[in-house]
A and B are shown apart, each in its own frame.
Chain A
Amino acid sequence: QQPVQSPQAVILREGEDAVINCSSSKALYSVHWYRQKHGEAPVFLMILLKGGEQKGHEKISASFNEKKQQSSLYLTASQLSYSGTYFCGTERFLNDYKLSFGAGTTVTVRA
């Protein structure tokens, strides 16, 4: 079952912050985040394993709340280059191999 992402779209001005959420009705072992620019392949950003850790990638960070089966991606002080569609991917257990993805959140950053 695919995880649910929210919001579907967000428009930001440069320097503003945003949060994208990814929720699952099933227990998860890992959540990973990807960014896809228009017309390009998705690019892997980071993975979070159950345990509630937080990770960062430049000014993009994420957290994973194992109890809620929810992950959040934080875009801080957004830059024009952050524009794109962000997807979360999930696995139910270690070495699941069967990945499920959210429908995506389109982020537009304007000058």
Chain B
Amino acid sequence: EAQVTQNPRYLITVTGKKLTVTCSQNMNHEYMSWYRQDPGLGLRQIYYSMNVEVTDKGDVPEGYKVSRKEKRNFPLILESPSPNQTSLYFCASSRDSVSSGNTIYFGEGSWLTVV
């Protein structure tokens, strides 16, 4: 079954404690990306990756890091989380860009609360 898997699904953490949200896809997709979803703002892109070792910033990259060492994995790293990073996070993947006709698949989401 085609899947994008995120972990953890729910996390409450404290300010400043480094955390990593993992994302893994089993579809051999080239393109992966991270979004945060906040009420009234919709989805905002944090980072994206076109292929292994190729990443770039989205609209809201501040406070986040990513890496793409393997095709299937694209972890999101919060080096020093702050309360304004409390949000619902989605990872997504597609074979290539959506504009070239590819369906994008989203993970189940990770609820992150920073206190």
Contact = CB atoms under 8 A, between A and B. Distances in A.
A100 interface: yes
Given A42-B90, A97-B56, A100-B59, A87 B99 contact: no
Interface in A65-110: 87, 89, 91, 93-104
Given A30-B99, A94-B97, A97-B48, A44 B42 contact: no
Report the contact-size class of chain A (Cβ under 8 Å from the partner).
Answer: 20 to 34
A95 B90 contact: no
Interface residues of B, number: 28
Nearest to B101: A47
A96 B97 contact: yes
A44 B50 CA distance: 19
16 contacts: A2-B41, A40-B108, A41-B90, A42-B90, A44-B103, A44-B104, A87-B42, A91-B99, A94-B99, A95-B96, A97-B48, A97-B50, A97-B97, A98-B56, A99-B43, A103-B41
